[in-house]
Structure 1
Amino acid sequence: MPVFVFPIAGAIIGIIIGSFLATIVIRWPQGQSAMTGRSRCDHCEQTVRAIDLVPVFSYILRAGKCAHCGADIKSDHLVIELGAGLIGGLALFVDPGLGGMLGAIFGWLLLTSAALDAQHHWLPDRLTLLLAVSGLAASFFDNDPDLFSRLIGGIVGFGSLFLIGWAYRQLRGREGLGGGDPKLLGAIGCWLGWSALPLVMLGAGLIGLLAVAAMRVRGQAVTAKSALPLGSFMAISAFPLWIMLATLETSLL
């Protein structure tokens, strides 16, 4: 099979999975299940037809509007579907095999975490636990980094941010980090290993600075009490780092 088929297949699979992930991001914060119930318009509550459930295509076909009432459809679906497609395509481009598929799973879980944290400042324990467990399990199929490095990454990732959050709370008398942030960094460590954690935080810091700059350009006030989604910044930083590490590993083989 030609090598170029793998990233194309990864992108198509990613777009399909992205449709499900978008449903999770929309429904989970509302206490609804993404596994049950027919898709309905948020405005008129009409059941969405099969032709309007085709990822990306349906949104473009309907110009981002409900086929029944003409109301605008949230762009979340389109953005997450395209993001998941990009993740799948890139992962299988740099590693057209099992390693690439594992990287895509890592990216899709990060995408879901980033979207939930950005929109709701919420990192569900079940999601970060799934990310951590899958990272440790991946070591049995791809031993770079090995299981020990991933375990240390999980402990150091969680412990370092937890201690920073605890120290900030003691000094300032208020929360400085969300409770899910240390868990997410620990879960990322279970995928990338302990040695990658400083780069994850460096990338998250740079992304955070760009986000603050964008807020200022839009005229939004940014103060010490402004809530910023650190989890989203870490998730956005972690997947490109996986791409870099996977590319380096492939070039050395």
Structure 2
Amino acid sequence: MTFQGNILVAGTLLGAPFIGSFIGTLVEDLPRGRLLARRRSRCDACATPLGPADLVPLASFLLRSGRCAHCGAAIPRKLLLIELATLLLAVVIVVLDPAGPLVPLDFAFAATLLAVALIDLDCLRLPDALTLPLLLAGLAATALRQPEALGAHAAGAALGYLGFTGLRLLWRRLRGIDALGAGDAKLLAAGAAWLPPAALPWAVVIAGLAGLA
């Protein structure tokens, strides 16, 4: 592995828990229309602003037994689980492609999917603020990794979006309800931008089974 590759891998692994911490905040704020950049992190129980020592991913939670250092209120355990899950994603990506120059991009894809899944579980929404950048980033990653495949991925994204949108409109006309949300079509398009065309049907099947579960 090159020196540059080592830096990319190390940066991805070290940064993963911090990204996980950001995802934990994003999942709470984005669906509720809160602007992340305009508010300082604070304890939900006592509203005390959190300092740097309170915001170290994983370590702050474990060293303080999952409680606020100021008021002793319990910190939601899901925040720790999100940080751990994000770190696990980074480890899996590095193990699968340790010398890959696009490890940070692949990690960004996986971390964004994690955020999308958590928001969907929480409020049944797939926000454009995540799905549309994911689509654009997927096309950019394909252009860097396989420039010759960019056209196929772009076509797959367009067909996936139009196909799911058509199904949604048809079902609404026949049954008067939305079987699919508009965000589902955008997420499928984003998946087509990232994944090989042959993998896309499997992604749809897995997503459908997950939805049934």
Q: Taking structure 1 as the reference length, what is the TM-score of the superposition?
A: 0.75
Alignment partners' CA distance in 2, 1:176 and 1:140 = 33
Q: Secondary structure at the match of 1:123?
A: coil
Equivalent residue for 1:128, pick from 131, 136, 152: 131
Structure 1 residue 5, shift from structure 2 partner: 8.7
Alignment partners' CA distance in 1, 2:111 and 2:164 = 23
Alignment partners' CA distance in 2, 1:202 and 1:18 = 27
Partner of 1:202: 205
The answer to whether structure 1 residue 93 and structure 2 residue 95 are counterparts is: yes
Alignment partners' CA distance in 1, 2:90 and 2:37 = 22
What percentage of residue pairs aligned between the two structures are identical? 39
Partner of 1:188: 191
Alignment partners' CA distance in 1, 2:178 and 2:55 = 41
How many correspondences in the alignment? 210
Q: Taking structure 2 as the reference length, what is the TM-score of the superposition?
A: 0.88
Alignment partners' CA distance in 1, 2:83 and 2:23 = 8
Residue type matched to 1:91 in 2?
I
Name the stretch that deviates more: 26-35 or 164-173.
Answer: 26-35
Structure 1 residue 22, shift from structure 2 partner: 1.7
Structure 1 contact 135–191 (Cα < 8 Å) conserved: yes
Aligned-CA RMSD value: 2.2
Partner of 1:228: none
Structure 2 contact 90–107 (Cα < 8 Å) conserved: yes
The answer to whether structure 1 residue 12 and structure 2 residue 19 are counterparts is: no
Q: Secondary structure at the match of 1:174?
A: coil
Partner of 2:59: 57
Q: Secondary structure at the match of 2:143?
A: coil
Partner of 2:42: 40
Partner of 2:146: 143
Structure 2 contact 116–130 (Cα < 8 Å) conserved: yes
Q: How far does the alpha carbon of each residue in 1:98-144 deviate from its partner, in whole angstroms, 9 at most, with x for none?
A: 23222111111111111111111121112111000000111221008
Equivalent residue for 2:168, pick from 165, 169, 179: 165
Partner of 2:110: 107
Structure 1: stretches of 5+ with no match in the other structure: 212-253
Alignment partners' CA distance in 2, 1:103 and 1:71 = 36
Structure 1 contact 145–193 (Cα < 8 Å) conserved: no
Q: How far does the alpha carbon of each residue in 1:50-107 deviate from its partner, in whole angstroms, 9 at most, with x for none?
A: 2111101111222222222222222332122112111112112211222322211111
Structure 1 residue 7, shift from structure 2 partner: 5.7
Structure 1 contact 4–93 (Cα < 8 Å) conserved: no
Partner of 1:231: none
Q: Secondary structure at the match of 1:141?
A: helix
Distance change in 2, residues 1:28/1:102 (3 Å): same
Alignment partners' CA distance in 2, 1:207 and 1:146 = 29
Partner of 1:222: none
